[in-house]
A and B are shown apart, each in its own frame.
Chain A
Amino acid sequence: MSFWQDPIGVIGEWIHGLLASFLPEAWATFLYTVVSVVVVASFGLIIVIFLIWLERKVAARFQDRLGPNRAGPYGLLQTFADIVKLITKEDVIPEKADWLPFNIAPILSVVAVLLIWAVVPFAPGWIGTDLNVGVLYIAAVGSFGILSILMAGWSSNNKYALLGAFRAVAQLISYEVPMLITLMVPVLLARSMGLMEMVQDQDVWFIVLAPVSGLIFMVSSIAEIGRTPFDLLEAESEIVAGYHTEYTGMKFGLFFAAEFLHAFTVGVLFAILFLGGWRGPGAEEFRVLGVVYLMLKGLLGYFIVMWVRSTLPRIRIDHMLAFNWKFLTPVSLALLILTAVVEKMFEGNSWRIPALLIGNAAVLILSYLILRSQSRRVARQRVTFRKRPEAKPA
Chain B
Amino acid sequence: MTAEQSIFLFIGFVILFSGYMMVTRSNLVHAALFLVVALFGVAVIFVLLDAGFLAVVQVLVYIGAIAILMIFAVMLTRGNATEEQESMNAGFGWAMLLSALFAFALIVMLGQWPDIGAMTPALDAGRNTIEELGSALVSPDGYVIPFEVASVLLLAALIGALVVARPQKGGK
Interface residues of chain A, those whose CB is within 8 Å of chain B, are: 26-27, 29-30, 96-98, 101, 131-133, 136-137, 139-141, 143-144, 146-147, 150-151, 154-155, 157, 159, 162, 166, 169, 173, 193
Interface centre among B63, B64, B74 (most CB of A within 10 A): B64
The answer, yes or no, to whether B33 is at the interface (CB within 8 Å) is: yes
The answer, yes or no, to whether B70 is at the interface (CB within 8 Å) is: yes
Which residue of A is nearest B36, CB measured?
Answer: A147
Answer whether A136 and B74 are a contact pair too, CB < 8 Å, given A143-B63, A147-B66, A150-B67.
no
In the complex, A162→B128 CA distance in Å? 44
B64 and A143 contacting across the interface, CB-CB below 8 Å: yes
B81 and A98 contacting across the interface, CB-CB below 8 Å: yes
B56 and A140 contacting across the interface, CB-CB below 8 Å: yes
Contact with A along B11-41 (1 / 0, CB 8 A): 0000000000000000001100100100000
B82 and A96 contacting across the interface, CB-CB below 8 Å: yes
Answer whether A169 and B53 are a contact pair too, CB < 8 Å, given A26-B2, A140-B60, A157-B82.
no
A154 and B29 contacting across the interface, CB-CB below 8 Å: yes
A133 and B53 contacting across the interface, CB-CB below 8 Å: yes
Report B-chain residues with C-beta under 8 Å of the C-beta of A132. Answer: 52-53, 128, 130
Report A-chain residues with C-beta under 8 Å of the C-beta of B3. Answer: 26-27, 29-30
The answer, yes or no, to whether B142 is at the interface (CB within 8 Å) is: no
A144 and B79 contacting across the interface, CB-CB below 8 Å: no
Which residue of B is nearest A163, CB measured?
Answer: B79
B36 and A136 contacting across the interface, CB-CB below 8 Å: no
B56 and A133 contacting across the interface, CB-CB below 8 Å: yes
B29 smallest CB distance to A (angstroms): 6
Answer whether A136 and B81 are a contact pair too, CB < 8 Å, given A143-B67, A151-B33, A154-B70.
no
In the complex, A157→B79 CA distance in Å? 9
Within 8 A of A (CB), among B52-73: 52-53, 56-57, 59-60, 63-64, 66-68, 70-71
B3 smallest CB distance to A (angstroms): 4
Report A-chain residues with C-beta under 8 Å of the C-beta of B56. Answer: 131, 133, 136-137, 140
Answer whether A154 and B130 are a contact pair too, CB < 8 Å, given A146-B67, A147-B66.
no
Which residue of B is nearest A136, CB measured?
Answer: B56
A202 smallest CB distance to B (angstroms): 20
B16 smallest CB distance to A (angstroms): 19
Report B-chain residues with C-beta under 8 Å of the C-beta of A139. Answer: 60
A96 and B66 contacting across the interface, CB-CB below 8 Å: no
In the complex, A30→B74 CA distance in Å? 41
Q: From B36, B64, B67, B128, give the contact of A140 (CB < 8 A).
A: B64
A22 smallest CB distance to B (angstroms): 16
Which residue of B is nearest A141, CB measured?
Answer: B59
A166 and B59 contacting across the interface, CB-CB below 8 Å: no
Within 8 A of A (CB), among B135-161: none
In the complex, A325→B29 CA distance in Å? 30
Which residue of A is nearest B64, CB measured?
Answer: A143
A146 and B33 contacting across the interface, CB-CB below 8 Å: no
In the complex, A151→B30 CA distance in Å? 10
Report B-chain residues with C-beta under 8 Å of the C-beta of A173. Answer: 67-68
Q: From A131, A154, A169, give the contact of B81 (CB < 8 A).
A: A154
Which residue of A is nearest B3, CB measured?
Answer: A30
Report B-chain residues with C-beta under 8 Å of the C-beta of A144. Answer: 63
A147 and B67 contacting across the interface, CB-CB below 8 Å: yes
In the complex, A159→B81 CA distance in Å? 10
Report A-chain residues with C-beta under 8 Å of the C-beta of B36. Answer: 147
B2 smallest CB distance to A (angstroms): 5
A157 and B67 contacting across the interface, CB-CB below 8 Å: no
A181 smallest CB distance to B (angstroms): 15
